[in-house]
Amino acid sequence: DAGYRSLVCFDYAPAGAAAARKIFGARLREGGGEAEIDVADMRDLPYRAGSFDAAMEKGTLDAVYLSGGRDPERKRECLEMAMREMARVLVRGGGLFSISAACTEAIKLAFEQAKMSEDAQEPVWRCIRDTGENLWITEEEGYASNNVDGTIMVWEKL
């Protein structure tokens, strides 16, 4: 427990956000924290710039990529929009914990190529952990399995 007492979660689907509120909302509040569960699109987030120290996504970037349909350019554009939004709402030095199963290579490439604007030259993200097919190694416990049928990546916003 790093002391976080306030969580903000979102789902693209209103039914998904409603289900999360029903299942998790009360339990989080009873534990002394609060959870705000919103309906939002990762490509156009309703939050202020620099609102968050950290974020976690599991499969959301996969879904964003696939929302581009069969058009490779549209898929790339969808990921670029999401990358810009995540960079906008995270503080400098903030972390994004990402789990991908369906579109890992496209997501890695999007992180590596992300720019805050089309004219920008500076990179936005630095990969600080990429499990690929490897085990997630920790000093405390020795190792933990990457048993999520996906790749865990941790990115720092520069």
Q: What is the pLDDT of residues 109-118, one digit of tens each?
A: 998 888 766 6
Residue 147: pLDDT over 60:
no
33 with 58, same domain: the answer is: no
Q: Evaluate whether residue 31 is within a structural domain.
A: yes
Domain limits at 143? 50-157
63 with 14, same domain: the answer is: no
Residue percentage of the chain with pLDDT more than 90:
44
Q: Is 125 helix (H, G, I), strand (E, B) or coil?
A: strand
* CATH number, domain containing residue 97: 3.40.50.150
Question: Tell me, what's the pLDDT at 87?
Answer: 93
Q: Evaluate whether residue 45 is within a structural domain.
A: no
- Output Rg (C-alpha) for the chain, integer angstroms: 16
Largest distance between two CA atoms of the chain:
47
d(CA 1, CA 16): 26
Predicted TM-score (pTM) of the model is 0.80
54 with 106, same domain: the answer is: yes
Question: Tell me, what's the pLDDT at 143?
Answer: 55
- Total number of domains in the chain: 2
Q: Evaluate whether residue 98 is within a structural domain.
A: yes
Residue 95: pLDDT over 90:
yes
Q: Evaluate whether residue 67 is within a structural domain.
A: yes
36 with 62, same domain: the answer is: no
Residue 148: pLDDT over 50:
yes
Q: What is the mean pLDDT of residues 14-32?
A: 74
Whether residue 23 contacts residue 37, with contact meaning beta carbons closer than 8 Å, is answered with no
d(CA 78, CA 147): 28
155 burial via Cβ count (<10 Å: 0-12, 13-18, 19+): buried
Q: What is the mean pLDDT of residues 117-145?
A: 69
20 with 66, same domain: the answer is: no
Q: Evaluate whether residue 149 is within a structural domain.
A: yes
Question: Tell me, what's the pLDDT at 139?
Answer: 57
21 with 79, same domain: the answer is: no
Q: What is the mean pLDDT of residues 45-74?
A: 94
28 with 62, same domain: the answer is: no
58 with 120, same domain: the answer is: yes
